[in-house]
Amino acid sequence: MHAWGGIKKPYKNLIRWLMDCEYHVFILGRQKNVFEDDDKGQMKKVGVQMRAEGETAYEPHICCRMEARQSDKDSSKSTYFSIYEKDRTGLLAGRTFPNPSFSTIECVLPLLNAKSQAHSENPDEVAAKDSELLDKEEAAKEKKSADILKACQDLVARAKDMKALGDVIEQCKTKKRSMVKKDEALLRADINDKTDSLTKLAA
């Protein structure tokens, strides 16, 4: 499985180059059927997609699916339709054209040029940014959890009897979803210790 990295990384670099280069590029691919299990456990066709690696079909600015439809009157004749499933210019999206030609896409060409087209980010830089953002989010979550833990520990320490401790436990329950596992375990240990202490006093 680890060998896939040697194939996928250069492939992704190729796709990124195709998206960023100064040329208009057509990426052609075969179509495949997409199946899913229905309620009865049987395979059911739910759509079609490009037979390609991962999200390749959705990387380009425009995604068009070609479809041939036979004539009802003469099965030897077909009409070819271009079905635009995605178009970042907004000019072709959702539209279908019979027997398309160059004039079909001519309207979008002025919008697809090197000056107006944003370049994609380097995947390694994106991964580094994502990692940094996750680290910051994790640090913020841990700080918030620590603050909640301290507040709950103070409440537990001030509880004078089992009823007061029960009220504290209910208050802390609503805040547990914002706590990390280790802080939850520390709070649970404090509550257990307090429970044992109050039980002994009552006895």
Per residue in 19-43, pLDDT (tens digit) is 888 888 899 999 999 888 877 778 8
Cβ-count burial 145-159 (b if 16+ within 10 Å, e if not): beebbeebbebbeeb
- Tokens (6 digits) for 145: 């959890």
pLDDT higher at 8 or 154: 154
- Tokens (6 digits) for 84: 């635009």
List CB contacts of 12: < 8 A, sequence separation 6 or more: 123
140 secondary structure, DSSP code: H
List CB contacts of 92: < 8 A, sequence separation 6 or more: 62, 64, 84, 104, 105, 107, 108
**pLDDT tens across 94-127, in order?**
999 999 999 999 998 888 765 555 566 666 676 6
- Tokens (6 digits) for 164: 């007061």
Backbone angles phi, psi at 117, to 5 degrees: -90, 125
pLDDT value, residue 58: 84
Q: List the beta bridge partners of residue 66.
A: 82
pLDDT value, residue 122: 66
Task: Count the residues in the chain.
Answer: 203
**pLDDT tens across 70-102, in order?**
988 888 899 999 999 999 888 999 999 999 999
